[in-house]
Amino acid sequence: MKLRAYQVDSFTREKFAGNPAGVIANADGMTEEQMQKIARELNNSETAFVHSATAADHDYHVRFFTPTKEVPICGHATIAAHYVIAKETNGRKNHILQKTGAGILPVDVLADGSDYRIVMTQGKIEFDSSINREQRQALIGALHIQTEALDDRCPIQIVSTGHSKVMIGITSRTVLNRLSPDLAALSALSKVIGCNGYFVFTFDSDDTSILTHGRMFAPAIGINEDPVTGNANGPLGAYIVHHHLVSHDGKSLIFTGQQGEAIGRKGRMEVHVSIENNEPAQVQIVGEAVIVFQTEIDL
């Protein structure tokens, strides 16, 4: 078996920036053990394995693995996988249905000159209840931040659009970029609250084109820090609308989120939130990508 393997940087056009993902473009016939070993070997936060469709209701079946486990969905690896598909097929199809662990979700390929932008429609929006006082204190302690640094407008809450994240709003980008959390404590807390990702964000921006800056930690699934996270910025969009944190026209909210500055892998994405009855109804993320290298793996 010869596998077509790619290393792709998502949410950027600049190599060695954004969020790196592995892509295996022809994963048919691979076992779960083989996929997990390759994800561990490539050692990206996620690797996407593209399989042919198994039914008429989707075009591809994409599975996502961190170095330690399979996850239902991944934003930046979805962008990477469909960027590779577009490059391999010369953008033959611009509307794709991908089967994932979070359901069958649409992906759109937008021609951008001689290149492509990828639009990922995310899954069902779900808001968990805010975490309790004891869990909140454990989280603040693990992040090594002072209570005064928290943004009072932003309840600490678990939000999902297919893969849940804890939303933690703070007031300062300086504090954000200086965070050095206790990863073992965050990992232990994940087992208690049933959520592996912690997205710390702020509206503190000196660029009017960027609404939010963020950092995402998920040590419980082998990701100490993820550079630029589609499945964190997407739920953030739903959270912003749900908690009335910025103004909008009642139909949609579109904004740019930036991430990765603190670890030297800056990237950004557009977040599109469709709104019905003043609540978020659907979330899409739009991202660019660049192929860093491609090779073959013999199995």
Catalytic residues: 46
| 133 CB neighbour count, 10 Å cutoff | 8
Amino acid at 57: D
Kindly give, in sequence order, each residue whose CB lies less than 8 Å from that of residue 294, ignoring residues fewer than 6 positions away: 4, 5, 6, 7
- Distance, in Å, from the CA atom of 167 to the CA atom of 66, rounded to the nearest integer, reads 21
Tokens matching residue 219: 């040590």
Q: How far is CA 124 from CA 165, 223, 281, 288, in A?
A: 14, 24, 8, 23
Burial label for 229, CB within 10 Å (0-12, 13-18, 19+), is: buried
